[in-house]
Amino acid sequence: MTLHSMTGFGTGEHTGSGLTVEVEIGSVNRKQFDVRVALPRSLSVLEPRVREYLGNRVARGSLTATVRVRVSSGSRLKSIAIDEHLSRAFITRLRRTARALQLDDDLSASSLLRLPEVVQYRELTEDSGKVWNVLRRALKQAVGELTAMREREGAALARDLTARFTRLKKRLESIRKQAPRVPERQRRALQKRLREAGCCTGELEAAVAREIVVFAERCDITEEIVRLDSHFAQVDRMLRAKKPVGRALDFVCQELLREINTIGSKANDARISGHVIHFKTELESVREQVQNIE
C-alpha cells in the first residue's frame, strides 16, 4: 500500500558556490495544498521557485519551509554598495548647515557609515541563480526525508483503515442476512397486535397480507446494499493506489454514510438498526483517519 500521511518533517543541507543552505520542511493536515516559505529577505525572489518545487511533489497538506543561508567569508556573493549621489547630497547639506551654525567641519570618510541608506550591504540577490542551484539540492534532501516519514505513517494508516473497513464489511454482511427476514417479523408483529386487540385474524388475513407487501417494498434495502458493495470495492482499489487518494476516500466515506443512513431509516427493524449504529460509529473513526491522508 502506498498511502501517504499529511504529517511529516524533513531537513536538508547543501554547500556550494561559497554558501551553505539549510532547509527544514514540516507538514500537517489540511484539505488542500498550502505552503508558507520563510526565506532571507535577500532571497525573496526565489520564493516562487520554492513553492513550485514543493507543489510538484506534495499534493495535499499544509507545509512550512524554512530556509537558512550561510555565506562563506571572502565569498563573491557578498558586496558593499555606496550611493555616491546620495552621499554628495548629504555632505553638501551638512557642510552648509555647519557653516550657518559656525560648527567645525569634522566630516570624514567614516561619516558615510552613519548616513542613512548611503552604505548598502548587498548579499546573494544578484546571484540568485547560483543560490537556487544549491537551494534546490537542499530542498530535494528535505523533501526526501519528509516523504519517507509521510510514507511510514501512511503505511500505519493503511493497516488501520484496512482493519476498520473489514469490520464495516462484516456489519454490512450482518445487515444483508437480516434484510430478507424483516417483512416476516413485521407480519408476525402485526398478527400479534391484532390478536392482542381481540380482532379475528382470519377475516383480516388478506388485509395483513397486503400490508406486508407494501411494507416489504417500503423497507427493501437491496439497492443501498449494492451501492455499499460498490463503494467498498472502490475503497479496496484506493488503498492500493499509487497516487494521492485522501480527497477521494473522504468522498466515498460520505457516500457510505448516506447509504447506511438510508438503510437505517428504511429498514424499520431493531436488529438492523443496531448494526447501523455500530456501522456509523466505526465509519466516524474511519473518516477521522482519512483526514490524515494525502
Write down the domain spans for the chain. Answer: 8-74+126-150, 78-123, 159-290
pLDDT of residue 92: 85
**In contact, 234 and 226? CB cutoff 8 Å:** no
Q: Please, which pLDDT band fits residue 94 given cuts at 50, 70 and 90? A: confident
Residue 212 pLDDT > 80: no
Q: What is the pLDDT of residues 165-194, one digit of tens each?
A: 999 999 999 999 988 887 777 666 666 666
User: What's the confidence (pLDDT) of residue 93?
Assistant: 81
CATH class of 8-74+126-150: alpha beta
Q: Which residue has the higher pLDDT, 124 or 274?
A: 274
Q: Which residue has the higher pLDDT, 196 or 290?
A: 290
pLDDT at 122 over 60: no
CA angle, 136 as apex, 133 and 139 as ends, to 5°?
155
Whole-number pLDDT of residue 100 = 84
